[in-house]
A = this chain, B = another copy of it.
Amino acid sequence: MGVSPRIAIDAMGGDEGLAVMLDGVALARRQNDGLRFLLVGDREQIEAGLKTHPNLAAASEIVHADEVIGGNDKPSQAIRRARTTSMGLAIAAVKDGSADAAVSSGNTGALMAMAKIALRTMKGIDRPALAALLPTLGDNDVVMLDLGANTECDSENLVQFAVMGAAYARIVMALKRPRVRLLNIGVEELKGTDEVKEAAAQLRAAKPLAMQFDGFIEADRLGRGEADVIVSDGFTGNIALKSIEGTARFITDLLRRAFTSSLRSKAGFALSRPAFRMLKVHLDPNNHNGAVFLGLNGIIVKSHGGADAQGVANAIGVAAKLARDDISRRIAEDLENFRAHTRTVPAAAQ
Contact = CB atoms under 8 A, between A and B. Distances in A.
A189 to B, nearest CB: 12
Interface in A204-233: 218-224, 232
A343 interface: no
Contacts of A257: 278
A349 interface: no
A137 B219 contact: no
Interface residues of A, number: 57
A244 interface: yes
Contacts of A238: 185, 219
Contact of A242 (B219, B270, B279): B219
B220 A246 contact: yes
Nearest to A276: B258
A151 B192 contact: yes
Considering residues A148, A183, A238, A241, which has the most beta carbons from chain B within 10 angstroms of its beta carbon? A238
Given A264-B274, A275-B258, A279-B258, A239 B250 contact: no
A222 to B, nearest CB: 6
A248 B236 CA distance: 19
Contact of A250 (B223, B234, B254): B223
A274 B249 contact: no
A265 interface: yes
Given A239-B243, A243-B239, A268 B264 contact: no
Nearest to A272: B268
Given A255-B275, A271-B264, A275-B268, A222 B243 contact: yes
Interface of A: 137, 148, 151-152, 183, 185, 192-193, 218-224, 232, 234-236, 238-251, 253-255, 257-259, 261-262, 264-265, 267-276, 278-279, 282-283
Going nearest first, the 7 A-B pairs with the smallest beta carbon separation are A268-B272, A268-B271, A220-B246, A243-B243, A219-B242, A258-B275, A247-B247
